[in-house]
């Protein structure tokens, strides 16, 4: 039980707020309605909202320190990942925080014993209340907002406040000012025109020579299959050894994207016949489903290529709806939560998890309240501390996505980076195309975070790029920010079976599952040799692992009315990162 002794001090429900809990100070506010949204109507006062309150994690800095220690190949603790209970001990709130928050909740007539639910670490509280009480608690005014393009409706507020004394105890409260939920976020993929190879995957052309002297089918220059990727990244012929020893890969799914089992078998019959009969496992998060009548391009792409490259490693597809089970009415839409938090909380609540994850979804960093982005990022740190490698698509907007304008009321032009790829505890994956040599593709999104400073593991790799860039684009990005992407992989012309037919698909959402599958193969080799999983990759990638990449030397990524970055330098770059893998060394 979480700090039971402290809860005993709240034996009676406080009916009047203590003096120190009466002065409200703004916690977060938007200066204007977020881009693309408009006020639609006013929700009913008795509309139920499930508030999720993120309490300050008492030893989060200690956890981050330990994360870097177990992820640094030159540190004595490398590979000594933490257990669920060890992580929860580090992130649980202090007793002072628990008492302060429970006193505040009780002052608003909530029974902290019966009305409040807590996760096992105690750093998240949930309580369901009518809108009228939520508005009083948060000094907020909620409206039903409608998205101008999609028609989606959500209940949100442009600002909320907390008692001044609680700002040191609460990181964030949701749903409040988080407008850009997953339905608004784009899946970073696009469908190309079908190619002749899609109808004839066995077409024979003269092979070309890859960067390590390997033979690669010439058709791979425009049409990507699992065989192409195995040849290009030198995994062809590797015999997996740890598929039955705990190694697994996880694929996240949002936006009602469903992986189709029949399409998966058709894909195997065409491109990976030895995998026929193999299937993915489905895990439902918060009521997520996997409707077999609606095959999803994104879900099929991710799972066909993770299994196509890492078969027979168990593959888990997490289907997360982002919709809480609330009561709808004729005016007020159902509550839609931020599914990253839902998915992270679900995975972290289990003692066992896959060793690599891939996610192909994201949104402009500025559309996430900063405190939300930091809290979510720290949850990714917990995954890394427990031995998981987390890959995210870097985005498909070139040098900058969205409107290229700030949303702080100043309307300044900036290159928009994509979150969660900007979180320093995940590995951002950009995209390339063509072979022998690979080139950075024009949509591969890269740049610099506004929220997160440059992590120490990038202190050597990134400055040479900035020096060569000089004053070009000065003022359009934060040169001191965390740089993205970290790595890259092929991202165009992927042959994907959707609804029984082959489609040619591209995007960094193709690159992320490709890189994640390669990491899964490396974990296979490590586990088979009695070693722990790779875990959080970046400290390794930017040090001992840098020799496992082929630097990409050509390409550009235009955006925001500029030609973007040009690749003509032998170092990290903001289109392809460190480059593409050439079977990374798994000796570390």
Alpha carbon distances (Å) from 577 to 448, 480, 487, 581: 12, 16, 5, 11
- Closest listed residue to residue 50, CA positions, set 287, 334, 319: 334
Rounded to whole angstroms, the Cα distance separating 387 from 534 reads 7
Check the CA dihedral 223-224-225-229 and report its sign: positive
Residues 6+ apart with CB under 8 A from 177: 28, 29, 30, 156, 157, 158, 159, 160, 369
Catalytic residues: 298, 302, 509
CB atoms < 10 A from the CB of 327, how many? 10
Rounded to whole angstroms, the Cα distance separating 321 from 140 reads 27
Check the CA dihedral 61-65-66-67 and report its sign: positive
**Is 395:508 a contact under the CB 8 Å cutoff?**
yes
Burial class of residue 221 in the structure, from the number of CB atoms within 10 Å of its CB (0-12 exposed, 13-18 middle, 19+ buried): middle
**Is 248:527 a contact under the CB 8 Å cutoff?**
no
**Is 192:504 a contact under the CB 8 Å cutoff?**
yes
DSSP string, 442-511: TT---EEEEEEEPPGGGTTTSHHHHHHHTTTTTTSS-TTEEEE-SEEEE-S-EEEEETTEEEEEESHHHH
Strand pairing report for 215-216 and 580-581: unpaired
Residues 6+ apart with CB under 8 A from 501: none
Rounded to whole angstroms, the Cα distance separating 516 from 270 reads 22
Rounded to whole angstroms, the Cα distance separating 139 from 141 reads 7
347 SS3 class: helix
Q: How far is CA 398 from the centre of its chain?
A: 18
**Nearest 5 degrees, angle CA 90-CA 92-CA 96?**
120
Task: Give the single-character DSSP code of 144.
Answer: E
Rounded to whole angstroms, the Cα distance separating 579 from 444 reads 12
**Is 362:188 a contact under the CB 8 Å cutoff?**
yes
- Residue 343 tokens read as 């998915």
Strand pairing report for 361-364 and 389-393: unpaired
- Closest listed residue to residue 353, CA positions, set 375, 385, 377: 385
Alpha carbon distances (Å) from 551 to 196, 379, 394, 464, 579: 30, 31, 18, 14, 4
Rounded to whole angstroms, the Cα distance separating 230 from 273 reads 15
Rounded to whole angstroms, the Cα distance separating 61 from 373 reads 16
């Amino acid at each position: 039980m979480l700090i039971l002794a402290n809860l005993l001090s709240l034996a009676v429900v406080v009916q009047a707020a203590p003096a120190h809990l009466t002065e409200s100070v703004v916690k977060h506010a938007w200066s204007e309605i977020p881009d693309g949204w408009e006020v639609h109507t006013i929700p009913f006062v008795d509309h139920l909202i499930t508030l999720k309150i993120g309490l300050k994690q008492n030893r989060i800095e200690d956890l981050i320190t330990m994360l870097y220690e177990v992820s640094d190949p030159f540190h004595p603790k490398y590979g000594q990942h933490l257990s669920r209970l060890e992580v929860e001990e580090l992130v649980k709130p202090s007793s002072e925080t628990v008492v302060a928050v429970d006193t505040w909740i009780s002052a608003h007539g909530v029974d902290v014993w019966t009305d409040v639910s807590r996760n096992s670490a105690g750093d998240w509280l949930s309580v369901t209340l009518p809108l009228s009480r939520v508005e009083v608690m948060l000094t907020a005014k909620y409206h039903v907002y409608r998205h101008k393009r999609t028609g989606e409706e959500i209940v949100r507020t442009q600002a909320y406040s907390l008692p001044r004394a609680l700002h040191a105890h609460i990181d964030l409260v949701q749903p409040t000012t988080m407008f850009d939920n997953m339905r608004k976020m784009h899946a970073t993929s696009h469908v190309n025109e079908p190619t002749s190879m899609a109808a004839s995957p066995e077409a024979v052309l003269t092979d070309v020579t890859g960067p390590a002297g390997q033979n690669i089918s010439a058709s791979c220059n425009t049409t990507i299959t699992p065989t192409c990727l195995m040849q290009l990244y030198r995994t062809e012929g590797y015999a997996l050894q740890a598929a039955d020893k705990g190694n697994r890969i996880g694929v996240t799914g949002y936006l009602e994207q469903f992986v189709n089992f029949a399409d998966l078998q058709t894909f195997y019959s065409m491109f990976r016949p030895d995998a026929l009969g193999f299937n993915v496992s489905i895990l439902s998060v918060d009521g997520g489903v996997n409707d077999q009548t609606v095959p999803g391009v994104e879900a099929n792409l991710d799972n066909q290529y993770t299994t196509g490259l890492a078969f027979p490693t168990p593959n888990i597809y997490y289907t997360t709806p982002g919709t809480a089970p609330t009561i709808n009415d004729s005016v007020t839409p159902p509550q839609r939560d931020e599914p990253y938090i839902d998915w992270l909380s679900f995975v972290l609540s289990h003692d066992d998890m896959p060793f690599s994850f891939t996610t192909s979804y994201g949104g402009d960093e500025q559309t996430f309240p900063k405190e939300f982005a930091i809290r979510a990022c720290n949850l990714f740190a917990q995954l890394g501390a427990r031995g998981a490698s987390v890959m995210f698509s870097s985005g498909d907007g070139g040098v900058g996505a969205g409107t290229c304008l700030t949303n702080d009321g100043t309307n300044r032009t900036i290159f928009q980076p994509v979150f969660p790829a900007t979180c320093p505890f995940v590995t951002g994956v950009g995209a390339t195309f063509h072979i022998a040599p690979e080139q950075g593709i024009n949509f591969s999104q890269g740049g610099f975070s506004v929220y997160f400073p440059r992590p120490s593991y990038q202190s050597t790799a990134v400055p040479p790029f900035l020096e060569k860039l000089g004053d070009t684009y000065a003022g359009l990005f934060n040169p001191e920010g965390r740089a993205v992407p970290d790595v890259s992989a092929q991202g165009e012309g992927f042959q994907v079976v959707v609804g029984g037919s082959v489609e040619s698909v591209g995007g960094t959402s193709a690159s992320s599952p490709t890189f994640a599958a390669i990491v899964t193969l490396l974990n296979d080799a490590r586990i088979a040799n009695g070693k722990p999983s790779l875990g959080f990759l970046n400290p390794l990638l930017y040090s001992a692992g840098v020799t496992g990449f082929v630097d990409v030397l050509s390409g550009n990524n235009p955006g925001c009315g500029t030609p973007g970055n040009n690749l003509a330098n032998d170092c990290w770059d903001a289109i392809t990162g460190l480059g593409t893998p050439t079977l990374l060394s798994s000796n570390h």
